[in-house]
């Protein structure tokens, strides 16, 4: 789908009636190379990792290291951490020519983020969130450019509904709901809460939390009525998940090698992704050997010797 230069909007994708499959913003992981990979396997929309808007605006170095894209990397949503409306709007204007929307992080529960006024602490500041969404809406000179938010839920769900309705009144494009409170980490996701939020607003709602297989997408849609599903750890473990694979297929592993080599992905990032991808399909002794490898060539040799090449798939 072409979304560059304001030709069409990401919002058109919601009108097709299918449940959208989305790659979550993940620190260190949802960078260009990984986005390129999951797009080959039925991922509809990708998010960048969270970028601190103030740092991004202040430093050319931060802009170059934090935000990398190419013409095939669409639709792309850039996620920012911000605690004032003008910084978010300025950052949105800077990335608007190269992306399809910005997302305000209102869900990161990490202490450093919350103490700096970013992330999940914003769910307790609905007026500020409303102001931030409105600033982006008013200042980005492209009517098709989206302004979304990603939130966690309150213990008292009425507060979350109020937040979402205020964001809707400011023109929010859609809302992603991670179905846990700020204090919860690995507890079960509150899908009932996501359904309540979906029923309380007219903008699209995306469900996030514990999506591990393609079948989860449909079951969560049936449970909550959401318009899309966002995955993080599930996609790290299996980037081909949205294409219906139960575990990472060999083709996907070699696709990752090709993309990483082509884009010059740093070794640590290249290796870490493979550690996640191979976790379900390798034995503990194999993982021990693989995790100790320290060069791209050693990794490629190991993969060739242990799993075979892509050509072996076709013979």
- Whether the upstream peptide bond of residue 75 has omega within 30° of 0, thus cis, is yes
> Does the annotation count 43 as an active-site position?
no
CA–CA separation, 148 vs 174, rounded Å?
Answer: 5
Q: Are strands 51-52 and 146-152 parallel, antiparallel or unpaired?
A: unpaired
Tell me if 271 is assigned to a ligand binding site.
no
233 is in an annotated binding site: yes
End-to-end CA distance of the chain: give it in Å, rounded.
Answer: 34
Q: 232: annotated binding-site residue?
A: yes
Which string of b and e fits 271-306 if b means at least 16 CB within 10 Å?
A: bebbebbbeebbeeeeeeebeebeebeebeebbeee
Tell whether 27 is in a known binding site: yes
261 is in an annotated binding site: no
Looking at 23, 43, 106, 108, which residue is catalytic? 108
**218 Cβ contact list (under 8 Å, min separation 6):** 19
Q: Are 76 and 275 in contact (CB under 8 A)?
A: no
Is 273 assigned a ligand-binding role in the annotation? no
| Count, residues in the chain | 315
DSSP-derived pairing of the beta strands 45-47 and 175-178: unpaired
26 is in an annotated binding site: yes
**Catalytic residue positions?**
108
Residue numbers in the known binding site for FMN are 25-27, 79, 178, 232-233
């Amino acid at each position: 789908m072409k979304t560059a230069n304001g030709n069409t909007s990401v919002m058109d994708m919601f009108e097709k009636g299918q449940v959208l499959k989305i790659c979550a913003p993940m620190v260190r992981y949802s960078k260009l190379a990984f986005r390129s990979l999951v797009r080959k396997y039925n991922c509809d929309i990708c998010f960048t990792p969270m970028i601190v808007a103030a740092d991004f605006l202040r430093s050319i170095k931060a802009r170059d290291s934090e935000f990398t894209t190419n013409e095939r990397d669409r639709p792309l949503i850039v996620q920012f951490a911000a605690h004032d409306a003008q910084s978010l709007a300025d950052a949105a204007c800077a990335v608007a020519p190269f992306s399809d929307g910005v997302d305000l992080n209102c869900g990161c529960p990490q202490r450093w983020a919350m103490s700096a006024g970013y992330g999940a602490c914003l769910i307790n500041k609905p007026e500020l969130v409303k102001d931030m969404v409105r600033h982006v809406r008013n200042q980005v000179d492209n009517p098709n450019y989206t302004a979304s938010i990603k939130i966690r839920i309150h213990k008292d769900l009425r507060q979350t509904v109020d937040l979402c309705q205020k964001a809707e009144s400011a023109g929010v494009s859609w809302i992603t709901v991670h179905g846990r409170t700020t204090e919860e980490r690995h507890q079960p996701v509150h899908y009932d809460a996501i359904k309540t939020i979906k029923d309380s607003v007219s903008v699209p709602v995306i469900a996030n939390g514990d999506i591990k297989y393609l079948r989860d997408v449909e079951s969560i849609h049936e449970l909550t009525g959401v318009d899309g599903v966002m995955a993080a750890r599930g996609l790290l473990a299996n980037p081909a998940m949205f294409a219906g694979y139960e575990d990472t297929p060999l083709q996907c592993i070699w696709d990752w090698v090709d993309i990483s080599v082509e884009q010059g992905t740093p070794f640590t990032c290249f290796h870490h992704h493979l550690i996640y991808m191979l976790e379900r399909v390798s034995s503990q002794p194999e993982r021990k050997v693989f995790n100790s490898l320290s060069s791209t060539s050693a990794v490629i040799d190991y993969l060739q010797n242990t799993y075979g090449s892509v050509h072996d798939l076709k013979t």
